[in-house]
Structure 1
C-alpha cells in the first residue's frame, strides 16, 4: 500500500504578482462576498447564522439576534497566511 502525500506549494510574500495570491486582496474579496451574501439573504427574508467569540448566533432581517448555543470550545483556525506563505 502506497500512501501519497501532497505538498501545498508555499508562496514567498515578496514574489506575489497575482492578486489572488495576495492575502490582503483575498481578505477584501472575502469580506465583500460575505457582505453581499448577507444582504441578499436579508432581502429574501432569510436569517444568517454565524459564530462570534465562541457563541453561535442567528441574525434575522429585522436586526434581531438570537443565541443558538454556546460552543464548548473556541475553534482556533490557523491564519491562511501561516499555511501558504514564507516570510
Structure 2
C-alpha cells in the first residue's frame, strides 16, 4: 500500500461525529481526498442521473403481472364504456 491510515483514529473520529463530540482526523492526504470526494458525491447525488437507478426497481412495468393471455386487464373507465355500449 502507498499510505497507511490509522484506522482506529478514523473510527474514533466518526463515532465521535455521531455523538457530536468532534475529535481529530488523521492528516493523511489520500484519506482527506477520499473523504472529500465522497462528500462531493453525496452532495451531487440527489441532482444527478445516478438517482434514476433506484427508480428501475419501483417502475410499474417491472411490478405488473405478465399474463395478458390468461386474463384481460381492463381499466375501470374502459369497463364502464363497454357496459354502456352493450
Q: TM-score range by the shorter chain?
A: under 0.3
Q: Report the TM-score when normalising by structure 2.
A: 0.25
Larger RCO of the pair (alpha carbons < 8 Å, separation 6+): 1
Q: Report the TM-score when normalising by structure 1.
A: 0.25
Greater strand share, structure number:
1
- In our comparison, the structure showing a higher alpha carbon Rg is 2
Greater helix share, structure number:
2
